[in-house]
Structure 1
Amino acid sequence: MATFKHISSKNADYGAAEQYLTFEHDEFTMKPTLDGNGRLVLRDDYRISSLNCGDEDFAIACMRSNLKYGKNQKREDVKSHHYIISFDPRDAPDNGLTADRAQALGEEFCKEHFPGHQALVCTHPDGHNHSGNIHVHIVINSLRIAEVPLLPYMERPADTREGCKHRCTDAAMEYFKAEVMEMCHRENLYQIDLLNGSKNRVTEREYWAKRKGQAALDKENASQSATGEPPKQTKFETDKEKLRRTIRTALSSAVSFEDFSGKLLQQGVTVKESRGRLSYLTPDRTKPITARKLGDDFDRAAILETLTINAQNAARAAETPAPRQEYPRSIKDRLQRGKAAINAPKNDGVQRMVDIAAKKAEGKGRGYEKWATLHNLKQMAATMSVYEESGFSSPEELEAALAAASAELNSVHAKLKAVESTLREKKDLQKQLLAYIKTKPARDGLRAQKTEKARRAYREQHESEFIISESAARYFKAQGISKLPATKSLQTEIEQLTKEKNALYNEYREKKENVRELQTVKSNLDKILRREPERGKGRENER
């Protein structure tokens, strides 16, 4: 589940960025780590490269460009932009993601979305607290040293000009996140929906507050343990975490908004509604915390939806005794009722039984035969347990369920391919449209010429623009497009198609896992049924 983050910097020392990427730093103070001789400690493993710097160092190339164009000379100027793509820790063992592959993806992302900028691309194979997530740092000089094409996230003509600066707007971040999700789908990596928020929104400031608070608490507990005093608390909670827990506790038993606000008030928390948005005021604060800073689970729509469900459950409980709730876990129930989409494949299901005779013919020894016999016994028991719990009464019913699951998988796959094809067409149209729009000044200038001689001279002077314009016009004609769409509406359509593709991709992975599990059960069951007569004959001989 790759994530995407942006940090802007006003530090005029461009060498500090490269130093942070290549040398170890204290994760709390951000100061360089020194060895016993007071020298910087190089990171154990990293990949780094520079773009658009020529033969010069990144810092020297950036400062030379700033002096040439007279930019980034003031203290308040944003000197550089730092983007971070963090991949899921499971991508390395499950999908073969390596630091070299991540570095190549980072360089490709930088060239495509930040053309004309001097940049550093650096990959670290491990994240904070040894989480194991490979992540890529992209640091660009805010100044653009070459004219570039108009990209979808750019809003002004100055965003393409040489000597102007990069702007990271909200629209740009939405576009970058969509592109990161598209990259993960293309490379078959784990991903989450970065465009629709999160249930618990943890900001960078809250993340580091928790890390520092936990470190301080661990230090205090260690000193107490040394004196034989038991620790009172082992897990540190930020104020926002405590507030989230308080809200969820009150929400779990509330049946109306008045009931909900009353339960919160008993805990000293005041809930307020303004312009359709909720905010929460705790006793130790003078300024309330908005629901947006806590997460999507705490906004007005989510709270009212949960309260409605609670009220309906309470009404049903008053009418009839509440039956024991059973959570379907069998294969048949999952196929009939559906299950929430997941990204990670399950590794704890039934596995295929081994054909011991075939393996022995390949040259496997007695050690392998002993392991395979034990493995087959375990999988035989697991298969029969799943078969009985799933409610299948015959192998034919299992085959019918497998056929139905395969049909659903093929249907979702066809829909996914159709959406992918439409998305590619829309992106091609967007590329041609942006190129055509950029040539508008040249086309207007040609119409302004009064004589044929002046028009020929003007056309020769701007030949490259007219080649691009005519190529785009041929594309529009071939596609049967008589009226060009608006760039914003086209971008919105692309984002909607990306969301639809993400949902279909998750559904496809779930159904594929269901089919694989059914195929495993069927394969094992066939082996079991074929061996039952042999076991019965052996027992008769023994008698």
Structure 2
Amino acid sequence: MKLLATFKHISSKNADYGAAEAYLTFEHDEFTMKPTLDENGRLVPREGYRLATLNCGEEDFAVACLRSNLRYGKNQKREDVKSHHYIISFDPRDGTDNGLTVDKAQSLGEEFCNEHFPGHQAIVCTHPDGHNHSGNIHVHIVINSLRIEAVPLLPYMDRPADTKDGCKHRCTDAAMEYFKSEVMEMCHRENLYQIDLLHGSKNRVTEREYWAQKKGQLALDKENAAREATGQPTKPTKFETDKAKLRRTIRQALSQAGSFDEFASLLLREGVTVKESRGRLSYLTPDRTKPITARKLGDDFDKAAVLALLTQNAHRAAEQTTAIPEYPHTQKERLREEKTAKTAPADNTLQRMVDREAKRAEGKGVGYDRWASLHNLKQMAATHNFLMENELLDLDKLDAAVESSRKALSEARESLRGIEQSISDKKSLRKVVNDYRRTRPTIDAHKKLSGRKAENYRQSHEAEFIIYEAALRQLKVLAPGKKLPATSKLNTEIEALISEKNAAYNTYRTAKAEYEQLATAKRNAEQILHGTPSRQKKHEQER
């Protein structure tokens, strides 16, 4: 499963709403989904979870859902979707790198539920770890499919029934796209790790394939353990699904082929037939009668990606030369080069040197001082190699590089903030437009009345009048003299801005990493030459 922030949806036809709460609060077997029992046959509670219910009043989630279903006469058939289960899973690194806690994740989950599933009875539960024990905090949001309150028309809704009480929630493709963009926006806002959820993945692993791999691996491990106990040779230790094997076969063929015909020929040797239909590729394995489309395997296997890689292979083959080195290395020289390569510190090991005198003044002991001495020697070598590789041995040139990197980081930060502000403005405009259109029929109906009827009508719809007048004032500021924009157009513009923000965010992270590395190298170089953390401070003292 992906480790970065992800979002998925599961619909359930189970009429027992209490089963959802039991799954969230008690441990379950990851394969059979049955509750885990202790030695006394009792349920084992989960540890460290947070739980909250929304729109349930004083009642239990299951009881509140059943009452609502009976009141509106919905969810009474076996085939009815009774509930929707959404899961927001955060990156395991968010806890250590970005300060994400279970309480904060629970707060984000409740905020997400209130904003995107208003009018639904819901249960929000946050777990501190996943079944794979990777340490990823994740939030479960389970909502009753029935809506008990009328709500405004939200961006992912496309018909009037989606706003009415007594109607049911629909998780359409458009809704999932919207929810994913909102999860990405939330991760950006909270400075959490995330991936681009809107543009697919290189390897598209479905929930079904994931669990097939897990179950197959467990069975293989048991079989190998039994073979080892009887002294028999074991099988390969890693289990692969049929799709995983097909991906490996395709990648192997792509690494060798320089044209599509050669690619198809290499696959055919392995028993795989590649076909093209309507501009899309599909792959047929010997054990199947129906081909597997590239879309089900991942973005790396569609026509555009395959042709791009084949073109790249062809260009690389044309540029390769067979020139023989003029002075062949002896065995001794080759071993010396290998040893140098192994002992040379990598770029990513560059760290700040320790001010040993300051640490001694703080009361650090001999052991720490000995470690700091060795650490400083390693960082001196790493700093020298970094500066030499980047031709920055001249401190003035290094100062210029640090300043240039700082400006690039500042520009990337300002660009990111500008896009974030544009997204915020667009969302504000979208909300105002929705409020205006939702309340306009009430205003038009009031204009047709007069006298006492008009006064009574306004009093009974005072809330709509207040919202309408506020929206009208905001429209004069946000879109003065312009035609009222369509909600669908605003949604498209917001999604485009979010995609633009993803690219800007990645640029910002790269610029930040580059600046931090250069700043560390500069500080280390100044400490090596002057014995002080900052050459600038020394100059200021000399003045």
Aligned to 2:380: 380
Number of residue pairs aligned between Structure 1 and Structure 2: 508
Q: Kindly indicate whether the alpha-carbon contact (under 8 Å) linking 2:11 and 2:81 is maintained by their aligned counterparts in 1.
A: yes
Q: 2: distance between equivalents of 1:322 and 1:40?
A: 71
Contact 1:291–1:299 (CA under 8 A) maintained in structure 2:
yes
The one-letter amino acid of 1:483's match is K
Letter of the 2:302 partner, please give it: D
Task: Establish whether residue 503 from structure 1 lines up as the match of residue 506 from structure 2.
Answer: no
- CA distance in 1 between partners of 2:371 and 2:82 (Å): 62
> 1:511, 1:470 → 2: CA distance?
45
Kept in 1, the 8 Å contact 2:149–2:165? The answer is yes
Looking at structure 2, the residues matched to 156 and 121 of structure 1 have their Cα atoms a distance apart, in angstroms, of 27
- Matching residue within 189, 194, 197 for 2:197: 194
Q: Which residue of 1 aligns with 2:84?
A: 81
For residues 264 and 453 of structure 1, what CA distance do their matches in structure 2 show?
82
1:518 to partner: Cα distance:
0.5
Counterpart position of 1:340: none
Deviations 1:303-328 (A, max 9, x none): 111112122222323xx44899xxxx
Once the two structures are superposed, what CA deviation does each residue of 1:148-179 show, in whole Å capped at 9, x if it has no partner?
Answer: 12211111111111111111111111111111
In 1, Cα distance between the equivalents of 2:169 and 2:246? Answer: 38
> 1:454 offset after TM fit, Å?
4.7
TM-superposed deviation, 1:209: 0.3
Q: In structure 2, what is the equivalent of residue 296 of structure 1?
A: 299
Residue of structure 1 in register with 2:224 after alignment: 221
- Asked if 1:54 is matched to 2:53, the reply is no
Q: What SS does the corresponding residue of 2:8 show, helix, strand or coil? A: strand
SS across alignment from 1:155 = coil
Name the CA distance, whole Å, in 2 between partners of 1:356 and 1:159. 66
Q: CA deviation at 1:235?
A: 0.6
In the alignment, structure 1 residue 528 sits paired with structure 2 residue 528: yes
The aligned residue for residue 463 of structure 1 is 462
Tell me which residue corresponds to 1:91: 94
Q: CA deviation at 1:107?
A: 1.1
With the length of structure 1 as denominator, give the TM-score of the two structures: 0.90
Shift of 1:46: 1.3
> 133, 136, 155: which one pairs with 1:133?
136
% identical aligned pairs: 67
Distance 1:135 1:437, change over 3 A: same
Deviations 1:129-161 (A, max 9, x none): 211111111101111111112211111111111
Q: Which moved more, 1:8-17 or 1:459-468?
A: 459-468
One-letter identity of the residue aligned with 2:58: D
Question: In the TM superposition, what are the counterparts of 1:257-276 in structure 2 within 5 Å?
Answer: 257-276=260-279
Please state whether the residue corresponding to 1:211 is helix, strand or coil: helix
How far off is 1:499 after superposition?
1.0
Which runs of structure 2 are paired with 1:6-405 in the superposition (5 Å)? Answer: 6-317=9-320, 320-321=321-322, 348-405=348-405
Contact 1:446 1:455 in 2 (8 A): yes
Gaps of 5+ in 1: 325-345, 533-543
Specify every segment of 5 or more residues in structure 2 that has no aligned partner in the other structure, as ranges: 326-345, 533-543
The answer to whether the 8 A contact 2:61-2:121 is kept is: yes
Relative to structure 1, is the Cα distance of residues 233 and 365 closer, same or farther in structure 2, using a 3 angstrom cutoff?
closer
Coordinate RMSD, CA, aligned: 1.9
Which deviates further from its counterpart, 423-432 or 373-382? 373-382
CA distance in 2, matches of 1:527, 1:393: 14
Distance in 2 separating the partners of 1:172 and 1:444: 31
The letter for the 1-side match of 2:104 is R
Task: Please name the residue that 2:340 is paired with.
Answer: none
1:2-25 Cα deviation digits (max 9, x unpaired): 100000000000000011111111
Asked whether the 8 Å contact 1:349–1:517 carries over to 2, the reply is no
Q: Evaluate the alpha carbon distance shift between residue 284 and residue 71 of structure 1 in structure 2; reply closer, same or farther with a 3 A threshold.
A: same
Map of 1:337 onto structure 2: none
Please state whether the residue corresponding to 2:122 is helix, strand or coil.
Answer: strand
Task: Report the secondary structure of 2:476's partner residue.
Answer: helix
8 Å Cα contact 1:476-1:482 kept in structure 2: no
1:138 is paired with a residue whose SS is: strand
- The aligned residue for residue 330 of structure 2 is none
Distance (whole Å) between structure 1 residues aligned to residue 525 and residue 384 of structure 2: 8
Q: Deviations over 1:16-46 (max 9, x none)?
A: 0011111111100111111222221111331
Mean CA deviation greater in 10-19 or 104-113? 104-113
The AA in structure 1 aligned to 2:353 is M
Shift of 1:362: 3.0
TM-score (structure 2 length as normaliser): 0.90
Cross-structure match for 1:328 = none
SS of residue matched to 1:524: helix
